[in-house]
């Protein structure tokens, strides 16, 4: 988002700056050059300088159309701009620096600006100072220095430095605006994501509570009315199963590295509280199963743990291709549940007071 916002703002400023540079170099600069062509001792040098600046602007136009930055061409382009400046200054007539004859004084700066527009403010300032230093050095070394020439140079420098620096400030401000806009967009996106996650989690919990209500509510109503007796082994078994399902439901909302093992530990806690010796063993690594798949995988262990008399062993073995949850417990009878998720298979064997159940899931 930040890159998109910043790129859009920068592209608009880049196009506007290029239009100003073309107007200054190839329109006003050419008009001034032709108007004062007779004043130049070496007109070919001035036209060469104009051609060099035009080539830089043409390259910028291509880069804008292709939506690409200058990259490795940036510093060679700046060298071309400075070389054009030096060529024009060295062939100017005497006492013509920063005058209307000196068409390049107010043009080369814009050619450099289009190249350095996406660079930090200090980089553009360094270029403009270098451009000014070339003109001033030429004035001091090769021309007659008078109050008039110095005043003219100082007056011209106000626009030569001032206008491009304004563009540099605008570019810096747009960059900060883009960063702030991106930060605001990211905060809004995080809020929306959190709200969506909370809504989805609430919907899933409501659905799961509704599913549990079909089995838990009749049990609670029967106990409250007295039609079901707590001393009844079947009632105690059903109560233990529902308690384990409730514990698993609460564990589903926890943020942990391995949700499957986390939910199995909560299921085992119900058996542990009633004195069942539970052993939980895990081997391998596996992808995080979806919630529905985890319910199918833990259902077999859940029912065995809830109905075990004295001991139970739960083993989880997983890989990227297969996840297996098996349980062995001293249960009187197996209570098998039909898995609802694709790719989950459940097998059950029982005999001599021992039940073995295994649920397997293939992630692929």
Average confidence score pLDDT of the chain: 84
Confidence of residue 2 (pLDDT cuts 50, 70, 90): very low
- Give the pLDDT of residue 342: 82
Radius of gyration in angstroms for the set of CA atoms belonging to the chain, rounded to a whole number? 40
Alpha-carbon distance 101 to 97, whole Å? 8
Nearest to 46 by CA among 60, 58, 28, 34: 34
Choose between 351 and 18: higher pLDDT: 18
Confidence of residue 6 (pLDDT cuts 50, 70, 90): low
Residue with tokens 């350095």: 116
- Give the pLDDT of residue 316: 93
What's the whole-number mean pLDDT along residues 167-174? Answer: 80
Angle between helices 259-273 and 233-251 (to 10 degrees): 150
What's the whole-number mean pLDDT along residues 273-279? Answer: 87
pLDDT tens figures, 199-246: 887 887 777 777 777 778 888 888 888 888 888 878 887 887 888 888
- Written as six digits, the tokens of 298 are 């833990």
Backbone angles phi, psi at 227, to 5 degrees: -75, -20
Q: 97: Cβ–Cβ under 8 A, 6 or more apart, which residues?
A: 89, 105, 135, 138, 139, 143, 149, 152, 153
Domains of the chain: 2-186 (no CATH), 229-361 (3.30.565)
- Give the pLDDT of residue 343: 84
pLDDT tens figures, 30-87: 898 888 888 888 889 999 999 999 999 999 999 999 988 888 899 999 999 999 988 9
pLDDT tens figures, 320-346: 899 999 999 988 666 667 788 888 898
- Give the pLDDT of residue 1: 47
Alpha-carbon distance 319 to 253, whole Å? 24
Whether the predicted pLDDT of 261 surpasses 80: yes
Alpha-carbon distance 237 to 231, whole Å? 10
């Amino acid at each position: 988002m930040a890159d998109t916002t910043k790129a859009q703002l920068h592209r608009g400023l880049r196009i506007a700056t290029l239009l100003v540079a073309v107007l200054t170099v190839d329109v006003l600069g050419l008009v001034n050059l032709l108007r004062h062509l007779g004043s130049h001792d070496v007109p070919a040098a001035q036209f060469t300088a104009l051609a060099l600046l035009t080539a830089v602007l043409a390259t910028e136009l291509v880069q804008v159309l292709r939506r690409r930055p200058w990259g490795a061409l940036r510093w060679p382009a700046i060298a071309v701009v400075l070389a054009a400046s030096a060529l024009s200054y060295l062939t100017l007539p005497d006492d013509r620096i920063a005058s209307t004859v000196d068409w390049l004084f107010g043009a080369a700066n814009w050619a450099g600006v289009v190249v350095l527009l996406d660079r930090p403010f200090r980089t553009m300032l360094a270029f403009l100072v270098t451009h000014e230093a070339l003109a001033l050095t030429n004035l001091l070394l090769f021309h007659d220095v008078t109050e008039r020439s110095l005043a003219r140079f100082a007056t011209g420098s106000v626009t030569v430095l001032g206008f491009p620096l304004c563009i540099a400030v605008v570019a810096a401000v747009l960059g900060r605006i883009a960063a702030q806009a991106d930060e605001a967009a990211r905060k809004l996106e995080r809020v929306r994501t959190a709200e969506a996650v909370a809504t989805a989690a609430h919907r899933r919990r409501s659905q799961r509570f509704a599913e549990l209500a079909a089995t838990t509510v009749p049990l609670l109503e029967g106990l409250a009315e007295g039609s079901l007796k707590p001393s009844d082994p079947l009632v105690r078994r059903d109560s233990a199963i529902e308690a384990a399902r409730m514990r698993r439901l609460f564990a589903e909302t926890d943020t942990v590295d391995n949700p499957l093992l986390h939910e199995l530990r909560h299921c085992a806690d119900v058996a542990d509280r009633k004195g069942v010796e539970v052993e939980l063993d895990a081997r391998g690594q596996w992808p995080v199963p979806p919630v529905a798949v985890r319910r199918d995988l833990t259902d077999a262990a859940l029912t065995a743990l809830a109905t075990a008399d004295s001991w139970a062993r739960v083993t989880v073995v997983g890989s990227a291709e297969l996840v297996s949850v098996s349980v062995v417990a001293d249960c009187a009878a197996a209570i098998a549940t039909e898995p609802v998720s694709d790719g989950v298979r459940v097998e059950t064997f029982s005999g001599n007071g021992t039940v073995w159940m295994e649920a397997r899931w293939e992630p692929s």
